Amino acid sequence: MPETHGTARPPRLYTTTEVARMFRVDPKTVTRWVRTGQLRALRTPGGHARILADDVDAALAGLTQPPPAHGG
C-alpha cells in the first residue's frame, strides 16, 4: 500500500470573479476586500488574487459578509 502520511492537499481557492458572484458584488469589491485584509488571498505568479475557500465558506455560512466598500 502506498504511504499517505504527510500528504497535504492544496487549499481550495476561488477567483475574485467567483467570490463576487457568491456575494453578488462587483469583482473590484472583492479585490478591495483582499487589499484591506478582509479576505485572505494568495497571489498567482501573474499577480492575480486567489481567495482561500475556507474564508469564503465561513463568511457565507455565518452570513457575515464583509462590509461593502464605500468610496471616500
Looking at per-residue pLDDT, the higher value among 56 and 64 belongs to 56
Give residue 68's pLDDT: 62
Q: Is 71 inside a domain boundary? A: no
pTM: 0.70
Domain range for 46 is: 13-61
The dihedral sign for the CA sequence 63, 12, 48, 17: negative
Give residue-wise pLDDT tens across range 4-52. Answer: 666 788 889 999 999 999 999 999 999 999 999 888 899 999 999 999 9
Q: Under a CB-based contact definition with an 8 Å cutoff, are residues 55 and 22 in contact?
A: no
- The CATH number linked to 42 is 1.10.1660.10
Helix (H, G, I), strand (E, B) or coil at 14: strand
* Domain count along the chain: 1
